[in-house]
Amino acid sequence: MAPNVEGLDALDARLLLLLADEPRLGVLECSRRLGVARGTVQARMDRLVQRGILLGFPPDLDLAAMGYGLTAFAVLEIAQGHRGVVAEQLAAIDEVCEVHATTGQGDLFVRMVARSNADLQRVIDEVVSVTGVRRTSTSIALSTPVPPRVRPLLERLAETGE
């Protein structure tokens, strides 16, 4: 199996799919299911971790079941040169789940969660009070028809090697 341009091959993809489906599998069981040596699986996993592709095995949590049933997205316009400081302060707000630096209308795209509309107002107030935030525009997510995913990319790589 020749590696593709990014350095992942079909075996890497099959291993990652297996771990995505059953993250508690051990190396020995992965090797059995993939039909390769235990050392091969261990070496592949070590390489994927070293290259920053495999980031860990955190549990997949349902935020709504944890009491955070409201998801919102905010586009922030910030003062020039303040991205690092703003991102650091946003990271200190527990309900801020992700922050992406973007091009286009705003400077930062923020995903946040809240327990209710009133709680969301509290979170937005915290975000707006961050030094360097000039303007926000917030939208509430009504549903998530396509959740975050990488599976289709891995399946294509596992099947075609590309």
Q: What single-letter DSSP state applies at residue 146?
A: S
Residue 7, pLDDT score? 77
Would you say the pTM of this structure is higher than 0.85? no
Distances 97 to 9, 17, 44, 49, 69 between C-alpha atoms, Å: 31, 24, 30, 23, 13
pLDDT of residue 16 exceeding 80, the answer is yes
pLDDT at 10 over 80: yes
Residue 1 — pLDDT band, cuts 50, 70, 90? very low
Q: Is the pLDDT of residue 135 over 90?
A: yes
pLDDT tens digit string along 54-86? Answer: 988 877 789 999 999 999 999 999 999 999 999
Among 48-57, 69-78, 99-108, name the one with the lowest average pLDDT.
48-57
Q: Is residue 47 within 8 Å of 8, Cβ to Cβ?
A: no
